[in-house]
Amino acid sequence: MFDVIIVGAGVSGASIARRLSRYKLDILLLEKENDVSMGASKANSAIVHGGYAESGKELRGRLCYPGRISFEKLNEELNFGFLANGSLVLAFDEDDMKMLATLYEMGKENGLDDIEIIGQDELRKLEENVSDQAIGALYCKGAGVCSPYEYVIALVENAMDNGLELKLNSEVIGIEKNGDVFSLTCSTGESYEAKYVINASGLNGAKVSSMITQTDFDIHPRSGEYLLMQKGTGSRVKQVLFQTPSPKSKGILVTRTYHNNILIGPDAIDEEEIDLGTHEERLKEIYTLAKKSVKDDVLNLREFIRSFTGLRPASSTGDFIIENTRTNGFINVVGIQSPGITSSPAIAEMVEKILEEIGLKLIKDPNYNPYRKPIIKYKDLEDFNKIKDKVDLELGNPERLVCRCEQVSEKTIRDALNRGIELTSFDAVKRRTRSGMGFCQGAFCRNRVLEVMEDEYKHPIENRKFDSENSGISRLNKKDINELMKKMEV
């Protein structure tokens, strides 16, 4: 029997697992997909938010800033990729300036000490490529960007090094409680028992909750679409550039990713059904709105490499739901939409306190190791002409370049394959090594990666498709974007 079972290996579940792994506890993490970070934690803006966009009257407003200031230390320990490059909320008229004043006051109430409202001169010193139409901005020095799926992977890898047990492809289909013991039945037919259960199952949060306790909320998908440009374009934008927010969204953003791509989006559409496809009209609107924030030559659809959709698990309460339920010992951690990634360290601490308050004994493990070596670190691409001979090296040579667009070596891929989580798809390797994230989007390296996987694992890899192919997702590709450019006369 386990002390704690966590349902869901997204950013909330992973953060909680890693936080609890510092104690002498038996912990099980259950995930219905074939890898960790497969839901909202994988496809999002990747922003480590400042902490000014939500009121302190909301739980998410109170948790954002404490979470944000934890990221520098977390990155030092886990090496997942974090850059505190700052954020700017741009104002284009006097109404926008009034909104900046409101955000500033909320930030101060939430404890921020690194925000200020700046005028045109200071704005252009900070961001030379900002639009000439911007008249001011709210500047938050400590906000930044991270690599969100690498963050979740690092959390789980470190927790597993400290004793966590992970079960993938294990969807929870039933929960019972007999006395003080919970019994969870999975789609695999396996059952597991625990004294405490944490429901961090994202879009399935209400469904899982209703299996065992009275559930007075709904979780619905709120979709946001994005456009991603090729590596190197991100150097044109220094800070994260927001427009003034709406009730549903923090506004269309233009930002560099941690790995130096330009990312623009998202919009915010409440969905009745899950739709991970991308759509011409929505992407056209996002691109048009994003152009408002920067000078004309910053965004170029000819540099497009990928579109994608993220689904935020929005709750009917409009806020995070983190609480011990009426079924004592079953803790809901649901409705974790933006700023969920930023808040995740503080969410984990809050859950730890709830568990201790309801009787879980937390005894520190003297063997706990908070450190995890990186699989990759940020790097600029080398002159390909100087390293192209490495592409044709034989299988088994650690210096062989398996992915030429992102210049990923065989040594890096084999490292990723031996981190405790058996990887069963090309996309799982992609998220850890960036193989397939370059200009050709895996057209060259997919079969080469699968070849290394089969050589390392000594068995065939049955899942040989991209994740989007397996799920039937329809996304606009380069050909579609070229057609859109003609319609827009770009």
pLDDT in tens, 51-93: 999 999 999 999 999 999 999 999 999 999 999 999 999 999 9
Domain limits of the chain? 1-82+144-218+316-374, 83-143+220-315, 388-459
C-alpha to C-alpha distance for 140 and 88, rounded to whole angstroms: 7
What pLDDT score does 440 carry? 95
- At residue 35, the pLDDT reads 98
Q: Give the residue numbers marked as catalytic.
A: 49
Which uninterrupted H or E stretch holds 417? none
Q: Report whether 27 contacts 13 (CB < 8 A).
A: no
In the predicted structure, residue 408 carries a pLDDT above the cut 80: yes
Amino acid 490: pLDDT? 60
162-179 residue pLDDT tens: 999 999 999 999 999 999
Of 31, 357, 345, nearest to 208 by C-alpha is 31
Nearest in space to 69 (alpha carbons), one of 19, 111, 105: 111
pLDDT at 142 over 90: yes
Mean pLDDT over 142-152 rounds to: 98
pTM for the structure as a whole: 0.97
pLDDT band with cut points at 50, 70 and 90 for residue 274: confident
Q: Which CATH number fits domain 83-143+220-315: 3.30.420.40, 3.40.50.280, 3.40.710.10, 3.30.9.10?
A: 3.30.9.10
- Per-residue model confidence (pLDDT) at position 366: 98
pLDDT confidence band for 247 (50 / 70 / 90): low
Which candidate, 369, 367, 340, 342, places its Cα nearest to that of 78?
A: 369
CATH architecture for the domain at 388-459? Orthogonal Bundle (1.10)
Residue 141 has pLDDT above 70, yes or no: yes
| pLDDT for the residue numbered 251 | 76
The mean-pLDDT minimum among 80-94, 154-168, 229-243, 266-280 falls in 266-280
Residue 466 is predicted with a pLDDT of 87
105 — pLDDT class (breaks 50, 70, 90): very high
Q: Do domains 83-143+220-315 and 388-459 have the same CATH topology?
A: no
Q: pLDDT at residue 7 above 80?
A: yes
Integer angstrom CA distances of residue 348 from 57, 151, 389: 20, 14, 47
Confirm or reject CATH 3.50.50.60 for domain 1-82+144-218+316-374, answering yes or no. Answer: yes
Would the pLDDT of 221 be above 80?
A: yes
Rounded CA-CA distance 168/259 in Å is 28
Q: What sign for the dihedral angle of Cα 339, 342, 346, 347?
A: positive
Average pLDDT over residues 32-37: 98
The backbone region for 63, taken as left when phi is positive above 0, alpha when psi lies in -120 to 50, beta otherwise, is: alpha
48 bridge partner residues? 144
Report yes or no: 265 and 253 within 8 Å, Cβ to Cβ.
yes
